[in-house]
Amino acid sequence: MIVIDPGHPSEVNSGRAIQNGTTELEMNWEVAERLVKILESNSHLRVLKTREVRDSFMSNKDRSATANKASATIFLRLHCDTGSGSGFTIYYPDRQGKKNGKTGPSQEIIKQSGEAAHFIHRGMCEKLGNCLKDNGIKGDSATFVGGKQGALTGSIFSEVPAVTVEMVFLSNKSDAEFIKCEKGKQSLAQALAQGVFLWVREKEIRK
């Protein structure tokens, strides 16, 4: 079971701020829809999105609850970054955090999330080539929210391997043009799918 979480709207951000002619909410959703179609074409996988309506609000805790209830093999969260950088970055919970009295994730989920992040990163590098800058794998604690809490809220409440992908920097014009075009969206979906396939294959080998 693969759970795909198109980021926003959430309690942190609506995702509706316009940057270089588009919004994070729109790009997260459009890449997620293409990713789901690719994954569903594999008869061995079941795929679930955290929500079915693009603009519906969903808390990060509830997003995690959806993945937990589904006993997801991976909880893959799609976002777009903003700032002075460019390219894609993979995040996973590298330590426990605390939110609303909840401490998490468990040490086992931290370990598995790190392993899953490795395969998502590998798949993206294989498929994207030099299309986007590769910023590597980083811990949740390197993010703004994770730096304050120890981990991202979605990771704290997750009981399954959780990986967050900042696909591009929407604040970077070149990145934005890449993800806005159909070829770019499809390339990102294929790259993410490749990472998922590699992770699922690894899980099967370990059984």
State pLDDT tens for residues 52-61. 999 999 999 9
- CATH no. for 2-206: 3.40.630.40
Q: Where are the alpha helices (DSSP H) in 60-172?
A: 60-69, 107-128, 144-149, 153-156
Average pLDDT (5-27) is 95
Q: Quick check: helix, strand or coil at residue 97?
A: strand
Helix and strand tally (H, E) in the chain?
Answer: 7, 10
Residue 77, pLDDT above cutoff 90: yes
Angle between helices 173-180 and 182-206 (to 10 degrees): 80
The first and second tokens of residue 61, run together, are 């805790």
Burial 19-58 (b: 16+ CB within 10 A, else e): bbebbbbbbbbbbbebbbebbeeeeebebbbbbeebeeeb
Cα 107 to chain centroid, rounded: 20
* The pLDDT value given to residue 12: 87
State pLDDT tens for residues 106-163. 999 999 999 999 999 999 999 999 999 999 999 999 999 999 999 999 999 999 999 9
State pLDDT tens for residues 63-76. 999 999 999 999 99
Length of the chain: 207
DSSP code, position 141: G
pTM: 0.97
Taking alpha carbons only, the member of 202, 153, 196, 207 closest to residue 39 is 196
